[in-house]
Structure 1
Amino acid sequence: MSRQKVNTFFGQSVRNQDFFHRSHRNAKHNGHSSSFAIIAGPPRLKKPMTLKTALFALLLFGGAAGIFQLVDRTPLAPDHTFTSLNGEQISLRQLRGSPVLVTFWATDCASCLSEIPTLINWHHRFANRGLKIIAVAMYYDPPNRVLELTRERKLPYDVALDVDGSGAADFGNVNLTPTTFLIDSTGKLILHQIGMGDLVELEARISTL
């Protein structure tokens, strides 16, 4: 290979022979054998990319990115069926077409109890617009205590038992209460909130569904 042969990459020159000889000398100086790996340098281009070519590539890949952005990656809610306190089977699949608020709670959770008046209010305000509220008692909550509190507070929305923990598992292994999920009418999970969070913001989201 000629010492003067030059690779050009976007206007920058690299003299391959100089690099080879310097690497060879360094290997000998460090006590290593003359065998060593040669890492490939920049690809050889006959001429630099023109402005026209660069603009075309930008438009091409930019258009492709725009197409991918149109794909909705919002996850679907799990296809779970809850069992209410009165034995009713509540299938999330069958509720498609209506927004659903699923909240995991426990009778010994102070924050959960604080949310109850707000949930009752939302039920009265949005039930006629199709909102379905399902309060899912955690697996460790005694069913008789859940039933007692439901009657005591006169909860107007559905209260379900998750005796085997399958509901919490399907929703990503819920272990903190309250944990709330808002599902739109197409069955997509559009909000996941742990703790009480911002109930005003949550209400605003519900009102738009």
Structure 2
Amino acid sequence: MKRLVLIVILLCLALFGCSKEEKGKSSSVSQLREGTAAPDFTLKDLDGRDVTLSSFKGKVVFLNFWATWCPPCKEEIPSMMKLNQQMAGKSFQMLAVSIDEGGKDAVTAFFKRTGFNLPSLNDPEQKAGKVYGITGVPETFVIDKNGVVVKKVIGGMDWASADSVQFFSELASK
């Protein structure tokens, strides 16, 4: 019976992403909807530099909230890396926002251990995550060149599929 419960829990995590809610706190932040302006934020990258979302206006932004401890996040990272490579030279910017409490050190160690690499920002206090109303990770927002959220995806996805690449290529060429 314990084994069955464990299997059900693992399946739920794999299907619906990883939730990290603080005990005793309910979310009073409304979730960001498609068709609304993407809220601006400034976070540090892995080199300690400030990165502001609005500085990418005029580019399609792939904004992904993730964590090193999240199985669906780890599963989708290789496809994110492929998408980022396929979109090189186009009007496109990928931003992977880590909500790890360990911040830069946790992400750097994870990338070193796994060989993964993404343009990453640190949000250990979940300042941007709260503004975007994320309910767990992974959660992705696609922002058009005008700064409008055109797509929101909750959970992991194969970002390197032919359909995904075509979607981003068409969006970047508009």
TM-score normalized by the length of structure 1: 0.59
Give the 3 Å change call, closer, same or farther, for CA 161–154 of structure 1 in structure 2: same
1:118 aligns with 79
Please give the alpha-carbon distance, in whole angstroms, between the structure 2 residues aligned to 1:112 and 1:144.
18
Q: In the alignment, which of 72, 89, 92 is matched to residue 53 of structure 2? A: 92
2:165 aligns with 203
Task: State the identity %.
Answer: 26
1:21 aligns with none
1:41-190 aligned at under 5 Å gives the runs 74-172=35-133, 174-190=134-150
Structure 2: gaps spanning 5 or more residues:
1-33
1:54 aligns with none
Matched residue pairs, number? Answer: 136
Structure 1: gaps spanning 5 or more residues:
1-72
**Cα RMSD over matched residues?**
2.0
Shift of 1:167: 0.7
- Does the CA-based 8 Å contact 1:105-1:179 persist in structure 2? yes
- Does the CA-based 8 Å contact 1:107-1:141 persist in structure 2? no
Q: Which amino acid aligns with 1:184?
A: D
Please give the alpha-carbon distance, in whole angstroms, between the structure 1 residues aligned to 2:104 and 2:52.
20
1:192 aligns with 152
Shift of 1:138: 1.0
Please give the alpha-carbon distance, in whole angstroms, between the structure 1 residues aligned to 2:88 and 2:114.
18
Look up the SS of the partner of 2:68 in the other structure.
coil
Please give the alpha-carbon distance, in whole angstroms, between the structure 2 residues aligned to 1:109 and 1:157.
16
- Does the CA-based 8 Å contact 2:76-2:157 persist in structure 1? no
- Higher relative contact order (Cα pairs below 8 Å, separated by 6+ residues): 2
Q: Radius of gyration: which is bigger?
A: 1
Please give the alpha-carbon distance, in whole angstroms, between the structure 1 residues aligned to 2:99 and 2:142.
18
TM-score normalized by the length of structure 2: 0.70
Shift of 1:203: 3.3
Q: Which amino acid aligns with 2:156?
A: M
